Amino acid sequence: MKKMSFLALLIVLLPAMVFAQEKVEAPVWNVGDKWVFTQGNIEVQGADKDGYTLNFSKDTCILENREFQKIIFEKSTLNRVYTLKGDKREKYAGGIRKILNFPFNPGKQWQDSFYGKPLTGFLAGRVNQDYSESFNILGWEDVQVSAGNFKALRLEYKVKNTNPGSMGYGSEGWIRYWYFPGAKYFIKCQYDKDYFAGEKDWELTSFSLKK
C-alpha cells in the first residue's frame, strides 16, 4: 500500500520535477565577464546589490546597444532599467527592455511596449513611433557557433508598429535569440532582414567569466 502511495505521489510530482529542471534562473554576472561576438563585444564593468553595468563596444549591433554604450540591468530579472552617460543615469525606455526576463523556461511568454525612433530601415532616426513587443521561449535546441556547440534556449522576439496613421503602421518584424546558461548570455542572433534592413546576424566567438 505504501509502495503504491509512493508511486502515485511520484507520478504527480514528476511533471513539476521536469519543469524545475528546465527552469533557468537569472545568472550571476561578475565584473570582468566578457562576451565577444562577430559584431562587437559586451563586458560587465560594474556590479552591486541591485544590478549590473554592461559596456557595449562601439561596433556592437545597434539593435542590441540601442545607441548606448553603458546599460544597467536589474539583478533579479536582468531587465534593462537605466542607461548611463558619464555619471548621468536615465530610465531605460527603448526596445528589448525585457529581452532578458528571467527566469526562463520553455513555453514562457511575455509582452512589453515602447515609444521611440526606428533604428534601422528608411525611417531610421525619424519620427517616434509606438511599438508592441512579444517574447516567446520556444524550447531547447542544439546550436553551433564559432565558440563551440551548445544546447541553448531559443527565444523569438516580435516587434510591431502600433502607431495608427503613421508610415509603417501594422508592420511587424522578428529577431531570434539563443541563450546558453553556461555562457550566461545569448550566443546567437538572427534578424528578419525584410524588417531590419541591412542588419547582420551575429554569434558568440569567445567568452570569459570571472569567479
Instruction: Tell whether the model's pLDDT for residue 35 goes beyond 90.
Output: yes
CATH architecture of the domain with range 31-208: Beta Barrel (2.40)
Q: What is the distance, to the nearest Å, from the Cα of residue 145 to the centroid of all Cα atoms in its chain?
A: 17
In whole angstroms, what is the distance from residue 17 CA to residue 169 CA? Answer: 44
Measured distance between the N- and C-terminal CA atoms of the chain, rounded to whole angstroms: 50
**Which of the four pLDDT bands, split at 50, 70 and 90, describes residue 122?**
low
- Domain borders along the chain are 31-208
Q: Cis check for the bond before 15: say yes or no (omega within 30 of 0).
A: no
pLDDT the model gives residue 164: 80
The string of pLDDT tens digits covering residues 13-32 is 434 333 445 899 999 999 99
The string of pLDDT tens digits covering residues 57-108 is 999 999 999 999 999 999 999 999 999 998 899 999 999 999 999 999 999 9
The string of pLDDT tens digits covering residues 135-190 is 999 999 999 999 999 999 999 999 999 988 766 777 899 999 999 999 999 999 99
pLDDT, greater one: 198 or 8: 198
